[in-house]
Amino acid sequence: MSSIINIKNFSKSFGNKTVIKDLSFEVKEGEVFAFLGANGSGKTTTIRALLNIYTSDNGELKIFGEDYTPDLSNKIGYLPEERGLYLNMTVIDTLVYFAQLKGIKKEDALERSKDFLKLVGLESKEKSVIKSLSSGQQQKIQLGVSIIHDPKLLILDEPTKGLDPVNRNLLMNIIKEKNRLGKTIIFSTHIMEEAEKVADRVLILSQGRAAEYGKLGEIKEKYNEGKILVRSEQKIDSNDVYLVKETSSGYILKPKKKVKPETILKQLVKDNIKVSSFTPLLPKLDDIFIKITK
């Protein structure tokens, strides 16, 4: 699988503050890549340097095998962290205008714009001016501007900013659908739950460096503590094999030493515990992120 984005040994400072230190990663064709980190960790700086909005201090930043130039703009859909909409334009004129900038004929641009507004539930706002929209509605229009020309690569910087949970879910579904259609997607976020829903691979930034990088499942397995969620009508107590934490979902059993799940199950049988469910628990990305960055 070829790389759409390839960043090698990238560093960036502003004055005496080093934001990114010797960062290297790639985004492969056809994948969803989550670029994770706390606010101020350097996610936006990296994206802006990739798109030549910032100059890098060191390193190589390639898109489609070359340095970014405006000639690549039709292949790329970029949703910036800060909105770049004309506040006094109407919603429909905004979408049509940006579509035409990408070389789409007006009639096709109008049809695409109407389809997008229907998709995100804003068809009634077609004639409204941008400044009259809520923050979340404006974010939807910004997304529309980013995808209306059907780019091969989507670069989305904090795409769910300003959206409520329902609309965050809507946007994540749009991302999944675009990926299903073969689009490559990189998105930055500090909301780990979003990455867990859609990402194939992730990079976690901490203090300007890649603290973790790779397939989501492999990273989760790396931090797996062997915890098991057990449901039983009987009380389960800690013993020499595991520690027990009672929760509303059931009992969470954490091994005291490196033992396999079948060893835990054997101990439950030995203790005459009747089990209605026995579920291995991989760590959540939130827990991994906190462990890495605390």
pTM of the predicted protein model: 0.88
* 3-state SS, residue 156: strand
Cα 95 from Cα 116, distance rounded (Å): 9
On whether the CB atoms of residues 236 and 251 are closer than 8 A, the answer is yes
Q: Does domain 3-221 bear CATH number 3.40.50.620?
A: no
pLDDT value for 179: 96
Least trusted range by pLDDT, from 40-44, 55-59, 147-151 = 40-44
CA distances, 197 to each of 31, 156, 243, 277 (Å): 13, 16, 30, 24
pLDDT value for 211: 94
Q: In the structure, what pLDDT confidence band is assigned to residue 39 with cuts at 50, 70 and 90?
A: confident
Residues 245, 249, 254: CA angle, nearest 5 degrees = 30
Number of CB atoms found within 10 A of residue 2's CB? 10
The mean pLDDT of 31-39, rounded to a whole number, is: 93
CA 163 and chain centroid, separation: 14
Q: What residue spans define the domains of the chain?
A: 3-221, 223-283
The mean pLDDT of 200-227, rounded to a whole number, is: 93
Among candidates 221, 222, 247, 251, which has minimal Cα distance to 234?
Answer: 251
CA 270 and chain centroid, separation: 44
Computed on alpha carbons and rounded to an integer, the radius of gyration of the chain in Å comes to 23
Q: Which two tokens mark 12?
A: 């960036």
Residue linked to tokens 């073969």? 182
pLDDT value for 84: 83
Instruction: Show the beta-strand stretches assigned E in the chain.
Output: 3-14, 17-28, 32-36, 58-63, 76-79, 153-157, 184-189, 201-206, 209-215, 228-231, 242-247, 250-255, 277-280
